Every structure is written in C-alpha cells, then in structure tokens.
C-alpha cells in the first residue's frame, strides 16, 4: 500500500541526488574516473530503489531493499578498480560510489539531515584527510618485512650498445633513489650482453623500479629487461661500480 506522498517522494529524491552530486563535484574536480554524473546517478538509483520499497511495497521491506542496493554497488565499484603494474587504482573511487549510495539510501528513508551530514563527512575525508595521508607518506619508517631485501635487475642488450646501456642504467638508478651494490656483465655468443645489477632496498621499490624499467626499455638495443626481489643477502658482485 502506498504511504508516500508525491511531495515527499520529490523531496527525498532531490536530497539524494543533490548529496551524490556534491560528492561528485569533488571527484570531477580531481579528474577521477567517477565524477559528477556517476555519483549523482548512483545516489539517485539508491534513492529510487528504497523509495520504491516504501511507496509500492511493504514499508517494512526498506531494510531488505537497502541491503540489495549495497550488494549492487559492490559490483559497480569492482568495475572501477584497476591494476596498474604493482599498484591498484580506483579503490577510493569505488569507496566513494559506495558512500554516494549510502547517502541516497539515507535520504530515501526520510533522514534528510543525516544524509546531508553523511555527504559532508565524505567530502571531509577527501578534502581533509588527503593532505594528512600525504604527510604520513613522507615520514620515513623502517619496514621489517623488506629490511635487507635486495632487488636484481636483469638486462639483455646488443653488444655494441653495452657501454651506453650500462651508463644509462647507473644514471637511472641514481635518479630513482636506489643504491647500486653490484654490476655484472656477461657477453654471449650471439653478440649480446647480459647485465645484472643489484640494488639495496630501503623501502618499497616497485614504483621506482617500474619507472626505471619503462625508461630503459625505450632505449635502442635493449632486448629484454626485468627485475625481481630477493630476500637473500648477496655479496657485492666481482665487478666494482665506478
């Protein structure tokens, strides 16, 4: 039996869409994957589903419909999470869509003030905690899980390009903030040279090493290039670094 007036329906829908749009403005401003329209639509959809349960179905089914909304947003959020090399992107976007749905459900259930307060809370997380997170990232800290770990970089290049590639490798290691501890070169019969460099790791090396690999892979004469981590403590290679 319908218990919701048209004015109530429009008011709750407007608040739900407005809250989602407010969250989306911040995301659009930062050029994220889910911006103004996506967050507004997610909030509108969540609001409409819950309003449907109140207007058409038994009002007591609102909680059950809200749980279905949460499950559906989980699938939508999974679509914006992407793997980028050793890192994962889109987690904040997925969480923001989840929050947009939450404020929509809040607005649809008639708690308009709570929906607005929830929106302000989401915006505060993005605007206030972002610089706080960056500040924490700058604090040096020792990680016992990666203490003493060394990374090995393996490179295969044409023999005539060996001097230039070795020089570029050492230069790239220096600019990436990695400390080289050894360098070994072995010349193969097919006029290629295998180069292995070891570096000491003082933090998470994935980003720096991926940037280094990307930079060197564009050099002419480089045929293969990869890296891996080893927890074994290695002695410096026989060939000293100049």
What pLDDT is stored for residue 102 in this prediction? 87
**Low-confidence residues of the chain: pLDDT under 50:** 1, 85-86, 145-146, 232-242
Domain ranges of the chain: 6-138, 150-230
| pLDDT, position 92 | 78
Residue 201 CA to residue 215 CA, distance in Å, equals 19
Closest Cα partner for 185 from 222, 238, 126? 238
**The pLDDT of residue 51:** 82
CATH class of 150-230: alpha beta
Total-model pTM: 0.49
| Residue 92: half-sphere exposure toward Cβ, Cα within 13 Å | 18
Do 97 and 76 touch, CB atoms closer than 8 A? yes
The owner of tokens 């891996």 is: 228
Instruction: State the distance between the two ends of the chain, measured CA to CA, in whole angstroms.
Output: 84
pLDDT at 137: 62
């Amino acid at each position: 039996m319908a218990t919701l007036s048209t004015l109530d329906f429009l008011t709750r829908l407007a608040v739900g869409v407005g809250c989602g749009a407010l969250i989306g403005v911040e995301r659009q401003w930062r050029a994220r994957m889910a911006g103004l329209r996506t967050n507004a639509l997610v909030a509108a959809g969540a609001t409409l589903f819950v309003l449907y349960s109140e207007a058409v179905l038994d009002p007591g089914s609102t909680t059950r419909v809200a749980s279905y909304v949460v499950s559906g947003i989980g699938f939508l959020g999974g679509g914006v999470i992407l793997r980028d090399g050793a890192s994962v992107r889109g987690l904040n976007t997925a969480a923001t869509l989840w929050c947009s749905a939450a404020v929509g459900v809040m607005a649809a259930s008639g708690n308009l003030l709570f929906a607005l307060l929830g929106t302000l809370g989401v915006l505060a997380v993005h605007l206030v905690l972002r610089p706080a997170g960056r500040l924490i990232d700058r604090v040096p800290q020792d990680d016992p899980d990666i203490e003493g770990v060394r990374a090995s970089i393996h490179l295969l290049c044409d023999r005539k390009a060996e001097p230039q590639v070795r020089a570029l490798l050492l230069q790239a290691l220096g600019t990436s903030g990695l400390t080289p501890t050894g360098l070994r070169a072995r010349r193969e019969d097919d006029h290629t040279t295998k180069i292995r460099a070891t570096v000491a790791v003082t933090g998470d090396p994935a980003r720096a090493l991926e940037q280094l690999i990307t930079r060197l892979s564009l050099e002419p004469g480089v045929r293969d290039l990869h890296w891996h981590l080893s927890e074994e403590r290695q002695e410096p290679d026989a060939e000293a670094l100049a």
